[in-house]
Chain A
Amino acid sequence: MRSSETIVCAGLRRRFGERDALAGLDFVVEAGETVLVTGPNGAGKTTLLRILATVLRPTSGRVAVSGHELPARAADVRREVGYAGHDPLAYPDLTARENLELYAALYAVPDARVAEELDRVGLDGRRGDRAAELSRGMLQRLALARVGLHRPSIVLLDEPTAGLDAEGRDVLRRFLAEPGRTIVVATHEPAWFDGLGGRVVAMAAGRVAA
């Protein structure tokens, strides 16, 4: 692993029952790079992000994030990674503020940062509303606020444009444009990210497509 390589996957395989979601994936992301992972449904994009976020264990192969081998050094990786999954990962019966306070405690960041992040994603006025009362786009913004809470150096986003309104898309653009981060986005809309200087990696059947 070269020092500039933040994410390295070599022969990465993940099996669910009889099906290989990842079938020997080779994938490298340089530090500070933005990579857009595209491909049809079932290509393995979400599985890749979940493994990088340490939520899922690989079946075989090698994966390292920031020089830490997974799954052995997962605890070190978790501090550096911000992950927004396909679902918003918010409790519907908790308010926007309460959801972020929970994650602030889990990531050991001050509660004051909750208000900062809500303000940054334009949800300050809805902080007392339950997540169940927020629109899909607002939940996506809440997810971005959660991802930004601990100022991660690596950001993993799964379909972040889904359901976003115009204001949400501005928030996402500003978030992605912030310097100093390595970003991996799984998306069906790579064209939306034009201008952000992202490298497109197409996946098919659990591998990088030729």
Chain B
Amino acid sequence: MNARALRALVRKDLLLELRGREVVPSMAVFVAAAFVLFRFGLGGTDLAGGTRAATGMLWVAIVFTALVGLSRSFAHEREGGTWDGLLAAPVDRALFWAARTCSTFLFLAAVQVVALPAFWLFFLQEHAGPSYPVLVAAVLLADVGIACLGSLLAGLASSVRAREVLLPTLFLPFSIPLVLTAVRVTTDTIPPQTGGLDTLGRLGFLALYDTVFALLGWALFEYVVED
């Protein structure tokens, strides 16, 4: 692993976002709009499905928010014609996937810093605070999985004409196990519910999911960007 090259690629993504402000603000607006729609469209905090329905909405909103960001993945390279410069460089092409995974994770985490408190305020204000260590672990593990899977598929979609359609078509089915597990774990963090050992098992599943898609991303990205 070429740490200097990885750092430089992530720095490039962060600088481009800092100056262009294309991804994070769009994601933030999207997730906020989704919460408002859920909150007022579904009749306030008294949801029929209780906390499970609320956490389900949270993760549906997060996955679609991630898609908003992923749809701009590799956009600078594609639109600015800089792909050829990267592909001609003597580094493992999996590094481009790893860098994009890191930046996607950071963008998603930045949005969640605002989105998660807003979610609690909108939907769970009558509940006691969640179990923060479990919640943070679940969110971070789920974010890593979304970033690993999403960056691989965004790279694949970036080389085809129907990329806007292909990315969600591939991403959403593959993210189902992750979303279902993240919903269960997040629900477990809200008192009075506790999952105990089941929660630990679900966190383990999220870690396994991350590992599988990290390995797939690292191994396949070379072929994904091959022209």
What residues make up the interface of A, taking CB atoms closer than 8 Å to B? 50, 53-57, 75, 78-79, 81, 83, 85-87, 89-94, 98, 101-108, 130, 146
Q: Give a binary string over B72-89; 1 marks a CB under 8 Å from any A CB, 0 the rest.
A: 000010001111111111
Whether the Cβ atoms of A54 and B20 lie closer than 8 Å is no
Residues of B1-47 contacting chain A, CB below 8 A: 2, 4-5, 7-9, 11-12, 15-16, 19-20
Q: In angstroms, how far is the closest chain B Cβ from the Cβ of A160? A: 15
| Cα of A172 to Cα of B51 in the assembled complex, Å | 66
Whether the Cβ atoms of B2 and A89 lie closer than 8 Å is no
| Cα of A81 to Cα of B90 in the assembled complex, Å | 9
Whether the Cβ atoms of B12 and A106 lie closer than 8 Å is no
The interface residues of chain A lying within 8 Å CB-to-CB of B87 are: 54-55
A106 CB contact (under 8 Å) in B15, B90, B227? B90
Whether the Cβ atoms of B85 and A85 lie closer than 8 Å is yes
Give the B interface residue count (CB, 8 A).
27
Interface of chain B, helix or strand or loop or mixed?
A: helix
The interface residues of chain B lying within 8 Å CB-to-CB of A81 are: 88
Given contacts A91-B82, A94-B15, A107-B90, 10 further A-B contacts (CB under 8 A): A50-B84, A57-B226, A78-B88, A78-B89, A79-B90, A81-B88, A85-B81, A86-B81, A87-B80, A89-B82
The interface residues of chain B lying within 8 Å CB-to-CB of A107 are: 89-90
Of all A-B residue pairs in the complex, the 8 with the closest CB atoms, nearest first, are A105-B8, A89-B85, A87-B81, A78-B90, A106-B89, A93-B19, A79-B90, A55-B87
Q: In angstroms, how far is the closest chain A Cβ from the Cβ of B80? A: 6
Whether the Cβ atoms of A91 and B91 lie closer than 8 Å is no
Which one of A56, A75, A105 has the highest number of Cβ atoms from chain B below 10 Å of its Cβ? A105
Which one of B7, B9, B89 has the highest number of Cβ atoms from chain A below 10 Å of its Cβ? B89
Whether the Cβ atoms of A53 and B88 lie closer than 8 Å is yes
| Cα of A105 to Cα of B89 in the assembled complex, Å | 10
CB-based nearest B residue for A89: B85
| Cα of A89 to Cα of B86 in the assembled complex, Å | 9
| Cα of A54 to Cα of B87 in the assembled complex, Å | 8
